[in-house]
Chains A and B, each alone.
Chain A
Amino acid sequence: MVPVNYYIILSAILFTIGVVGVLTRRNALIIFMSIELMLNAANLAFVAFSSVIKSFSGQIFVFFVIAVAAAEVAVGLALIVEIFKSKRSIDVDQMSSLKG
């Protein structure tokens, strides 16, 4: 049997790695992947708690989070493609001007 605390600590570390990715990388795609990693860490905590209290609500929430992540990726990648078309780069440091 694995104590639920271990899962929570793992989830916190994964979330922190995602935060470091968002803060330090300049490639917009990798920043996006780090956001996915953070969502995933939160999902892991949800499922761990749902397993402890023996309720399905946590798993339902993870289901919704996965659906929202899919929608977010579709729109976000479309935005990145558009930004690349106008700037010829996906470096987030280049996206500093307010007018296209």
Chain B
Amino acid sequence: MTLDLIFFLILSLIALSTALGMLLSRNAVYSALFLVLNFITVAVFYLLLGAPFIAMAQVTVYAGAIMVLFLFVIMLLGAEELPKAEVLPWQKRLARGLAFVLALETTFIFLTRARPIGDVAQPDASINTVTNLRALGETLFTDYLLPFEVTSILLLVAMIGAIVLVRKEKRVH
């Protein structure tokens, strides 16, 4: 048991339990807070994998911006809990069975077909934030310049779309 492995096991335990907490808690606010913890745990995984920029982006964009937006909407709508309603009795059991099959299937295919071999790179001193950022920026603005520009258009369209959707329409006729 190396130190990395112990770290990994503890963190994966936290990640899995917070994901299950998100899934099982009745109150949507608790779900959102569990999901924030899950995102932060995944950010620590990114640090272990030697990707500090992605880890920081994860914390600021996911755990910061996106989940705060979720909490805003939950509290705006007052939709913490749904009233009881009749549900299809077989739906949950069927979903869990299918999900179990899916988990086995994805793991099997990943481990047999993709054949990932080797260990993940140890986060040594050579992968510090500055070199990671520089290399990431160079790749982003040379090989991936067009997708980067398309992403900016996508964000603009999403912003306009959200504004158009929630704005009050003046009916003229």
Contacts and interface: CB of A to CB of B under 8 A. Distances in A.
Interface of A: 1-10, 12-21, 23-27, 29-30, 32-34, 36-37, 40, 43-45, 47-52, 54, 56-57, 59-60, 62-64, 66-75, 77-82, 84, 89-91, 93
Interface in B1-47: 2, 4-5, 8, 12, 15-16, 19-20, 22-23, 28, 31-32, 35, 38-39, 42, 45-46
A59 B76 CA distance: 35
Interface of B, secondary structure class, is helix
Interface string B64-85: 0110011001101101001001
A71 B153 CA distance: 10
B87 A48 contact: no
B119 A3 contact: yes
Chain B interface category by residue count:
35 or more
11 contacts: A8-B114, A15-B106, A17-B23, A24-B92, A44-B42, A48-B116, A64-B144, A66-B61, A70-B61, A73-B70, A90-B77
Interface of B: 2, 4-5, 8, 12, 15-16, 19-20, 22-23, 28, 31-32, 35, 38-39, 42, 45-46, 48-51, 53-54, 57-58, 61-62, 65-66, 69-70, 73-74, 76-77, 79, 82, 85, 87, 91-92, 95-96, 98-100, 102-103, 106-107, 110-111, 114, 116-122, 135-136, 139-140, 143-144, 147, 151, 154-155, 157-159, 161-162, 165-166
A4 to B, nearest CB: 5
